[in-house]
Structure 1
Amino acid sequence: MTLTLTPGKQLGFRRMSDEAGRFKMTAVDQRPPIKNPIAAAHGGEAPWDKVAEVKTALMEALQPSSTAMLLDPHYAIPHGWRAFDARKGLIVTLEDSLFRETGQGRYSAEIDDWSVGKIKRMGGDAVKVLAWYRPDISDEVRIAQEDFVKRTGEACAALDIPFLFELLVHPVDSDAEQTSEYTEMATKHSDHVLKSVEHFAGADYGVDVFKLESPVPGKGIEGGDAAVQALFDEMGALAARPWVMLSAGAGKDDFKTVLEYAYAAGASGYLAGRAIWLDAFNAWPDMDAMRAGLTRDSVPYMDSLNALTDARATPWHQHQVYGGDGLAFVDASAGFRHGYGDMR
């Protein structure tokens, strides 16, 4: 399969990546990992201004080292808009952080009164969706999750904006490990990750970039393991388009090792949050100490990730799905305007 990116999607890719075509993207769209500690300190309810203040501080400190920022419409965008560097790519979250747990799967949905159209209209360069999924969930939940992803892909295609899709496996009732947090399962099965990637790589879903978790637990991961590398290689082959790694709350050293495996398998960069800024955030509510930690620890860590990315990541436009030339224009002729889709 060989694809040519439409103009809007290609421009989104170019704005999200560096000049060489590598993604160095920072996520500050997380809601529970930031809201929960703040809520605990305020009697169970997180004040909007406290959460928004943290997110803006993360933006200010980390965007100079980033090619793009992933922001949410609840806090980061309205509070941090003035601080956002318009020279960076803007990725905007579509999914609600709240999900309905059934014990046999999790239902995802859009944030209320939010849409792909609104993200496009406000100038977003890409739409990000996280969907909880694994192939052994109940048929009812599986179909609902697939429909959610499919309608997002269709809306992104209609409005010519990249669809960045994040997959996370999760526990069901039969698992010994139970967690509702946005954290990696220590007991996850590689097959659950790989089969989920394979499924959503189908053309019906319209995914442009995958944001993927490690196919093996990242905590304590060691480098140089041929069997682990084979799993990353399989994941990259199944994705069959540009893909980046998420950190899933991994520690700094572990996430760097995960990236080494991913880059050897053809990943084009990272889109990470907590591995970069969580240690500094732990200084909250001392905002001065948090900002100092971001400068002292998070920024140098990002510099090390960026150096690794420069050295080993595959530029997105060199991916085989584009025949090695993702920068080709869809119709480089005087007749371009006639064939370009109506975006009404």
Structure 2
Amino acid sequence: MKLTPGKLAGLKAVSDARGVIAAAAMDQRGSLQKSLAKERGGIIDSAALGEFKTLVTEVLTRHASAILLDPEFGLEASKNRNSAGLLLAYEKTGYDSATPGRLPDLLDVWSVRRLKEAGADCVKILLYYSPFEKTAINDLKHAWIERIGDECIAHDIPFFLEFVGYDAEGGDEKSLAYAIKKPLIVSGSMAEFGKERYNVDVLKVEVPVEMSYVEGTKAFKGEKAYTRAEALQHFRDAETMTHKPFIYLSAGVSNPVFIETLALAAESGTKFNGVLCGRATWKDGIVIYAKQGAAAFKEWLETTGVENISNVNEALKAATPWYTKFGANSLAELG
């Protein structure tokens, strides 16, 4: 498998000197707006959303290889990224709740061509996915991803696919029952979208366990879905499902839980290739921005926020460069 010049340039742009993707994520829209409004007790307009994203970008990209933003509210923020690489989201926030299956949609006035023209080094898509969903629904999702993969090939830009699992039977994703299903959901998704037909370059994946149900961890809350040894094996099993580079998402957990998660991945020997980490670095600053304003939030970012991302970077010493998935021993070997 050979990388084209544009795909290689894009992957290099979002990686650190080691070839590890140490990226920050700031493409939240609807969920972030709701969280800020709840803390402020009033409406959060697009200007405030843009300001929040700009502050996060300005401070955290000094410690990240790249930043993931959305073109709706994040383009101004992208100008403040301290030469870090840029990934732009292509999907609308959330999913269609009026029809079953959590169907996705693309942003109305954007295309891969336009995202690239706006400065994107890579294009990112979020898809809610379960291998256990009805075949007719998954067929729609498969065709949708095929289209985007082909569009990224046409414009020679890397395609990052993030998939987030859910219970196709409508169960609670925070429950013990879902935690037991999660390893197969993550592994099955990695197996599906690692197929060549989708032309995905990097899989952005959930870890294959729910940390609060892993016995013998600090995150454990008393109800067991897996022993520590079983959890370690789930990491290894998921890795075998694809030959593609893959990175972990933080999925809204706290910074300490995400750091422990990455430590577990390292302990398992899994050759993951980095992270795209959002809320585990800046989530606790939402209340600061909402109640105390921009200056206080920037001060929080420069202290606690930097500490959070530094913790992630320390944990990333266990990550493996993505170029090894292409049989190379260095970035230089790829051209």
User: Which residue identity lines up with residue 239 of structure 2 in the other structure?
Assistant: G
More displaced stretch, 35-44 vs 115-124: 35-44
Structure 1 position 201 matched with structure 2 position 194: yes
Q: Distance in 2 between matches of 1:327 and 1:129?
A: 28
Q: Which of 30, 37, 49 is residue 32 of structure 1 equivalent to? A: 30
Q: Distance in 1 between matches of 2:78 and 2:323?
A: 30
- Aligned position for 2:161: 165
Residues 1:15 and 1:323: Cα distance change in structure 2 (over 3 Å):
closer
Q: CA deviation at 1:283?
A: 1.5
- Aligned position for 1:67: 65
- Aligned position for 1:122: 118
CA displacement, residues 26-78 of structure 1 (integer Å, 9 cap, x when unaligned): 0011112311133446887531111111111111111100000101111111x
Q: CA deviation at 1:117?
A: 1.1
Aligned residues: 319
Q: Which of 280, 305, 318 is residue 312 of structure 1 equivalent to? A: 318
Q: Distance in 1 between matches of 2:202 and 2:155?
A: 16
Q: Which of 214, 226, 231 is residue 228 of structure 1 equivalent to? A: 231
User: Which residue identity lines up with residue 160 of structure 1 in the other structure?
Assistant: D
- 1:4 touches 1:326 (CA, 8 Å); kept in 2? no
User: Which residue identity lines up with residue 26 of structure 1 in the other structure?
Assistant: A
SS at the partner of 1:189? helix
Q: Which of 267, 284, 305 is residue 272 of structure 2 equivalent to? A: 267
Structure 1 position 145 matched with structure 2 position 126: no
Q: Which of 85, 88, 97 is residue 89 of structure 1 equivalent to? A: 85
Q: CA deviation at 1:177?
A: 4.8
User: Which residue identity lines up with residue 158 of structure 1 in the other structure?
Assistant: A
Structure 1 position 113 matched with structure 2 position 99: no
Q: Which of 237, 242, 245 is residue 239 of structure 1 equivalent to? A: 242
User: Which residue identity lines up with residue 244 of structure 1 in the other structure?
Assistant: I
Q: CA deviation at 1:10?
A: 0.8
Q: CA deviation at 1:329?
A: 4.5
SS at the partner of 1:136? coil
SS at the partner of 2:240? helix
Residues 1:267 and 1:289: Cα distance change in structure 2 (over 3 Å):
same
Q: Distance in 2 between matches of 1:232 and 1:104?
A: 30
Structure 1: gaps of 5 or more residues: 180-184, 331-344
Structure 2: gaps of 5 or more residues: 219-226
More displaced stretch, 200-209 vs 31-40: 31-40
Q: CA deviation at 1:259?
A: 1.2
- Aligned position for 1:210: 203
Q: Distance in 2 between matches of 1:50 and 1:279?
A: 17
Q: CA deviation at 1:304?
A: 2.1
What is the aligned-residue RMSD (CA, Å)?
2.4
User: Which residue identity lines up with residue 77 of structure 2 in the other structure?
Assistant: G
CA displacement, residues 168-192 of structure 1 (integer Å, 9 cap, x when unaligned): 012344414589xxxxx75652111
- 1:166 touches 1:212 (CA, 8 Å); kept in 2? yes
Q: CA deviation at 1:292?
A: 2.1
- 1:277 touches 1:298 (CA, 8 Å); kept in 2? yes
